[in-house]
Amino acid sequence: MTLPSYSMNVKTFPELYERQLVGPLFKPWAEDLLGRVSLAPGDRVLDIACGTGIVARLAKARLGPDSLVVGIDSSPPMIAVASEREPTVDWRVGDAAALPVTGSDRFDLVVCQQGMQFFADRLGAAREMRRVLAPGGRAGVSTWRPIEEHPLLLEFKRAAERYVGPFVDQRHALGDGGELERLLRAGGFVDVRVETVTQTASFEDPEAFLRMNAMAMIGMSGAAADASESERRRLADIVTRECEPLAAPYLRDGRLAVPYASNVAVARIS
């Protein structure tokens, strides 16, 4: 494989995320999540930790141009990409544990796709989800299952650790479905149901996926803290090459088929 010369700077990463990961990985899960929460005409929707906004964008497309859909993320560059893709959504920069939502704003549905595991104050975020919902409102929350249930991703992690040292893959840090259920109940939700859902993502550009995953793993490691941009690129080159033979058994007609498993929680408030 020839490695693409992707930069790892903060402005470029959201663009790569949107171009390389949203379509094959996050869009199918967003469609599944919106189906499970029974998105209905007239729903006012809040997407927390929206990234580049795929859940909010799909909700807007289904509900129509006059619908109220708000997307919130702590990363201004992610919000910038989201607003370029769909300017009719109300995009806001903010903290999940202190949502930029006034007391008069109320939503029928709050969703958080693959964000809860990254929050420093998860209980605070769950309580904020509860706060902004109208009576009878619903929530849909998904978090990846433990990395041990993702054999290929676990192999990638072990390969990376040979060069960057041990690290916690925060993407899988809320893999226990029981813990997710307890968190939502503690935040004030009732009728919490958590299911394990599996899908296989098909990446038509395996090199790009391997590179993006290497970048993410390096970013979560201690080696990234004081590393220069050139050093991070060098490490990404090395880790990507180490992962290539591990990915080979998952190649299908030039595409990389990666199985994923997620907790998907649906809850409501009284």
Query: How do residues 120-137 score in pLDDT, each as one tens digit?
Result: 999 999 999 999 999 999
Phi, psi of 144 (to 5 degrees): -60, 145
Angle, alpha carbons 262-266-268 (nearest 5°): 160
Average pLDDT over residues 10-17: 78
Both tokens assigned to 67: 């619908």
Examine the pLDDT at 9 and tell me if it is beyond 80.
no
State the Cα–Cα distance between residues 146 and 262, nearest whole angstrom: 9
State the Cα–Cα distance between residues 205 and 207, nearest whole angstrom: 6
pLDDT attached to residue 3: 33
For residue 173, being part of any structural domain is answered with: yes
For residue 96, being part of any structural domain is answered with: yes
What residues make up the domain containing 95? Answer: 12-268
State the Cα–Cα distance between residues 101 and 187, nearest whole angstrom: 17
Bridge-based pairing of strands 69-73 and 45-48 is parallel
For residue 67, being part of any structural domain is answered with: yes
For residue range 73-98, what is the model confidence (pLDDT) as tens digits? 999 999 999 999 999 999 999 999 99
71 or 9, greater pLDDT: 71
For residue 5, being part of any structural domain is answered with: no
pLDDT attached to residue 126: 98
For residue 2, being part of any structural domain is answered with: no
For residue 213, being part of any structural domain is answered with: yes
Q: Residue 41 — left, alpha, or beta (φ > 0 → left; ψ -120 to 50 → alpha)?
A: beta
Beta strands, E only, 28-145: 45-48, 69-73, 90-93, 107-113, 133-144
- Tally of domains in the chain: 1
For residue 7, being part of any structural domain is answered with: no
For residue 4, being part of any structural domain is answered with: no
What is the CATH number for 100?
3.40.50.150
CB contact at 8 A, 214 and 236: yes
For residue range 31-55, what is the model confidence (pLDDT) as tens digits? 999 999 999 999 999 999 999 999 9
pLDDT attached to residue 224: 86
